[in-house]
Amino acid sequence: MAVPIRVVDSHTGGEPTRVVIGGMPPLEGSDMVAAKAWLATEYDSLRRSVVGEPRCSDVVVGAYLWPPEEGSEIWRVVFFNNAGYLCMCGHGTVGIVETLRYLNRIDVGRVEFATPAGAVAAWLLPDGQVSFDNVPCWRSQAAVEVNVPSYGPVTGDIAYGGNWFFLIGDSPVPVIRANLTELQAFTVAVRQSLDSQGVTGDDGAQIDHIEVFGSSEVADSRNYVLCPGLEYDRSPCGTGTSAKVACLAADGKLAPGQVWRQESIVGSVFEARYRIADGHVVPTITGRAHIVGDGIVVVDEDDPFKWGIP
Ligand code: PYC
C-alpha cells in the first residue's frame, strides 16, 4: 500500500521549499518546540522521505504546515531539511505564503504563523511579494576569533536570526559564484572549528549556519550561507539576513526603518529593515517565491528506500 503525501513545491530567490499539506500526522505537542521534538522522535523517517534522496534533494527545505485550530487564525509550521529541523526559515516562510495563495487559502493581507522560534506575521503584498516580521533577533558576540585549519585566524560575529549564525565580513575566499566549491570548503572548516573550539550561541546553542559577505554591484552586500546539512542557501537567507541586520544595528550602521538589500550568491535579493521591540531587533524581510510543482510524494511499502537513503 502507498501512503500519499501531498506537497507543493516553490522556490524563493532560487532556494526551494517543499510544503507538506497532507499525509502527515495530526499535530502533537503543547507548543511548536514540543511539536518539533515530537516529529524528530516519532516521524524522522517522514522527513527523510520527503526531502531526502531518492524522492527529493539535499538542497530542499521542507515545511510541515497545519491549518489553524478552530477559533484561531494561526497556521502552525515546522521546518526541516536534509540534516534535521530548523527553528525558523525565512525563505521557507515566503514559500509558504505563496503556497497558500496558490491554494486559494489566503488573499492579499496578513497571515500568522507559529514556529518553533516564535510567532511570525507575514503579508502577501498586492505585487506578489511577501514580507514577514521575523522573531526578535540579536547579536550575541562581536569579533570572535576562531582558528581555522588551512585558513588561520578568522574573525566573525555570532548572532541569532531565528537560527544561530557566525557572520564573517572579511572572507579569505571572495564571495563570487565561481568560488562555490572553495566557499563550501571554507565554511565547512569554519563550522568544524566552531564546534571543536567550543564556540556557541547563547546557552551553548550550536552555531549551524555560517554566513560570509562580499561586495555586490546590485545590493548593499552579497552573501554565501552554509546551511546545517552542508548545502548553501540559493536565496539571501531570511534568518541570515535577519542576523546581519542585528549586527548592523548593534554597530550603529543601520537605523530602524532604513533598507538593507542583501544579494545571494546566485543573484537574488531580499530587502530588510528593522524596528526595535523590547530591546531586540525585529527584522522585516521582503522577497518573492514562485510555485514550481504540485503533487504527491509516494511511499511504497515495498520500496527498500521508502524512508530515504540512510
Ligand atoms: O531563509 O532562513 C532562511 C533559510 C535557512 C536555511 C535555508 N534558508
In contact, 239 and 88? CB cutoff 8 Å = yes
Residue 4 confidence (pLDDT): 83
Cα–Cα dist 64/23, whole Å: 10
| Alpha-carbon distances of 197 from 145, 149, 166, rounded to whole Å | 10, 12, 14
pLDDT at 224 exceeding the cut of 90: yes
Average pLDDT value for the chain: 97
**How far is ligand 1, taken at its centre, from the CA of residue 163, in Å?**
9
Cα–Cα dist 46/306, whole Å: 9
Cα–Cα dist 130/122, whole Å: 7
Which of 132, 187, 208, 239 has the most ligand 1 atoms within 8 A of CB, as the residue to mutate?
239
In contact, 10 and 99? CB cutoff 8 Å = yes
The dihedral of CA 106, 112, 114, 120: what is its sign? positive
Could you identify the atom of ligand 1 that is nearest to the CA of residue 233?
7
Could you identify the atom of ligand 1 that is nearest to the CA of residue 93?
1
227 is catalytic: no
Residue 1 confidence (pLDDT): 45
CA torsion angle 110 114 55 24 (round to 10): -110
**How far is ligand 1, taken at its centre, from the CA of residue 156, in Å?**
19
H helices present in the chain, as ranges: 32-42, 44-51, 90-102, 180-196, 238-250
Residue 100 confidence (pLDDT): 98
pLDDT at 46 exceeding the cut of 60: yes
247 is catalytic: no
Which residue in this structure is represented by grid cell 526603518? Answer: 257
Catalytic residue chosen out of the listed positions 56, 89, 137, 247? 89
Contact 61 CB / ligand 1 (< 6 Å): yes
* 25 against 89, higher pLDDT: 89
Which DSSP string do the residues of 214-246 spell out, in sequence order? E--SSSSEEEEEE-TTSPBPSS--HHHHHHHHH
Cα–Cα dist 50/150, whole Å: 37
Q: Which of 307, 306, 289 is nearest to 96 (CA)?
A: 289
Contact 235 CB / ligand 1 (< 6 Å): yes
Find the mean pLDDT for residues 213-218.
98
Query: Is this model's pTM higher than 0.85 or not?
Result: yes
Residue 310 confidence (pLDDT): 84
Find the mean pLDDT for residues 103-113.
98
Contact 227 CB / ligand 1 (< 6 Å): yes
Cα–Cα dist 72/282, whole Å: 24
Contact 137 CB / ligand 1 (< 6 Å): no
CA-proximal residue: ligand 1, atom 5 (nearest) = 89
pLDDT in tens, 195-211: 999 999 999 999 999 99
**How far is ligand 1, taken at its centre, from the CA of residue 304, in Å?**
31
pLDDT at 145 exceeding the cut of 60: yes
